[in-house]
Amino acid sequence: MSQPVINSRIIKLEPINWKELQFIQQEDFKEWLPNGDKKLIESLLKYQFADPFKVWHHNGINYCLDGRHRFLDLKSVSENGHEVPDMLPATFIDCKDMKEAAELVLVYSSAYAKITQQGLLDFVKNFDLDFPDMQAIMNIPEFDDIAFQGLLNESSGIEPGEKIIPSSLKDSFIFPPFSILDTRSGTWQERKRKWIELGFNSQETREDVELIAKSGQSSGIYELKNKMRDMLQREPTWDEIIDYAKKKGMHIYEGASIFDPVLCELSYRWFCPLGGKILDPFAGGSVRGIVAGVLGYPYAGIDLRKEQVEANRKQASILSLENVDWFTGDSNEVLNSEFPTDGFDFVYSCPPYADLEKYSDDPKDLSNMDYDQFKEVYFSIIKKAVAKLKEDRFACFVVGDVRDKNGFYYNFVSDTIQAFKDAGMELYNEIILVNVVGSLAIRVRRQFNGGRKVGKMHQNVLVFYKGDPKKIKENYPELNLGELEETLEVI
Ligand SMILES: C[S@@+](CC[C@H](N)C(=O)[O-])C[C@H]1O[C@@H](n2cnc3c(N)ncnc32)[C@H](O)[C@@H]1O
């Protein structure tokens, strides 16, 4: 018989005089989280001593391998007049020497798994728990306890007589419909990865990839650039980077320039009636069309660049998507009355952010215009798109402000709001989309030191409404996307 691979090192469980414990680690080995000492005392008073110390007995001394903070708090509690027994249980662990004991101090301080917010929410609900300090369980200072309590209340706050709604905001809406959407979360990134696996090839042409690389919008390309610099021991050229990426079949899409498919999915599912027709006057890559096709929304995208439209069409045909199409041309002209389809249910787009990225040399391309001219055409396109939208419907533009040559913001977000107002729509929701930090971490030092420009890591998702807001409830039924997802089995 072969030896077991894992042997027990536990010698015994026995009460010890805990006040005589000695420590291997220095005092500053761990520091309290904010208010951690007080919270641990509260926890000890409420839950009592429920976990033995772990000790290594050596030369007549009990060295504490795990339990130092409880030791500190028990001491402070007993000094403040609370009665704490002299003898408390300890698990005796077998250690060869001091070095091995020290290693075990690290072992007991390590964490290999963490509770997820959803996991915690479900667990607390299942057992109807009233745990005082959720933050301590999550073990991250930035865990937002107030937001968590909100989730908890929202999902259990069923009034008598009200029908039972799904158990969590996530089940109902995929992500909680708050004014901040954080694309940095693991669940967001995982969902994005699944969508991308479906096969987006938004930036198919070399020209596009290059454009994105040079405009510094892709975080992926910067990571690659750093790697190549190390490899070549010199600064790689953009051509070398792009060739390398292509040869290796790498997707350099993580930057701001590929439209986020998860944001797209949420926008359609939240603000477009099921199966409603979508109009996109600045289509760019294929993402918004492909997501529409997969989820069953007819989609019409317009873009000035023929090669982009062709690449998008090719992609839709690979995925056998019907009712999804792109049209080549200047939206300011295409959207005049001869445009084939009328009566759209949702206007959705991500316009050029003024001159941030140059898409082509075409003088009709908004990104080639000075800001005054840009505004004039931009306002006109928005007006024409809104005219194609049915009454009592939403529109949504994803935008981000851009600095002019002097470093001042154009105020592009406010101008977008004004353009929709002029076109007869009112601002209904503003959502801040938090982007992953990516290459900004590299760029921010220079821009902040060189001119106190903070790193912009968000975009604005502006949602407008046309018509009578009282009709929203009629046209947009309660959402239960968890269920829908099972039937669609999309991702
Ligand atoms: C922000 S980009 C979209 C690119 C982004 N990667 C995406 O997929 O969302 C805006 C698009 O507007 C297009 N565009 C610029 N001026 C236009 C115009 N006058 N009419 C139609 N499309 C235009 C550009 O070619 C570009 O593809």
List, in sequence order, the alpha helices (H) in 205-354. 206-214, 219-232, 238-247, 261-271, 287-295, 306-318, 331-334
Are 85 and 77 in contact, with CB atoms under 8 Å apart? no
**pLDDT tens, residue by residue, 130-170:** 777 776 776 665 566 666 666 666 655 444 444 444 447 88
Arithmetic mean of pLDDT over the chain: 84
What domains, with CATH codes, occur in the chain?
10-109 (3.90.1530.10), 117-164 (no CATH), 261-488 (3.40.50.150)
Residue 485 — pLDDT band, cuts 50, 70, 90?
A: low
Q: ∠264-265-267 over CA atoms, to 5°?
A: 65
Mutate to test the pocket of ligand 1, among 282, 334, 349 (most ligand atoms within 8 A of CB): 282
Burial class of residue 263, CB neighbours in 10 A (0-12, 13-18, 19+):
buried
Residue-wise pLDDT for 262-281, tens only, equals 999 999 999 999 999 999 99
Higher-confidence residue of 224 and 306: namely 306
Q: Answer whether 464's CB lies under 8 Å from 395's CB.
A: yes
| pLDDT value at 94 more than 80 | yes
Measured between alpha carbons, how far is 351 from 366 in angstroms, rounded to an integer?
Answer: 9
| pLDDT cut 70: percent of the chain above it | 83
Work out whether strand 389-399 and strand 426-434 pair parallel, antiparallel, or are unpaired.
unpaired
The atom number, within ligand 1, closest to the CA of 308 reads 27
pLDDT at 486 over 50: no
d(CA 195, CA 189): 10
Please give the full DSSP string across 424-491, using - where no structure is assigned. Answer: T-EEEEEEEEEPP-TTHHHHHHHHHHTT-PPP--EEEEEEEEES-GGGHHHHSPPP-HHHHHHHH---
Token pair in block for residue 184: 């940095």
Residues 285-339: tens digit of each pLDDT: 889 999 999 999 999 999 999 988 988 898 888 889 989 999 999 999 999 877 7
What are residue 408's DSSP bridge partners? Answer: none
pLDDT value of position 140: 61
In tens, the pLDDT along 233-255 reads: 887 776 787 777 777 766 554 33
What residues flank ligand 1, with Cβ below 6 Å? 202, 257-259, 282, 284-285, 287, 302-305, 308, 330-332, 350-352, 359-360, 364-367
What's this model's pTM, rounded to 2 decimal places? 0.64
Q: How far is the CA of 136 from the centre of ligand 1 (A)?
A: 46
Other CB atoms within 10 Å distance of the CB of residue 388: 18
Contact in structure between 212 and 218 (CB atoms under 8 Å): yes
Phi, psi at residue 304, to the nearest 5°?
A: -65, -30
Q: Ligand 1: which residue has its CA nearest to atom 7?
A: 284
Residue 68 or residue 130, greater confidence: 68
Cβ partners under 8 Å of residue 94, min gap 6: 9, 10, 11, 56
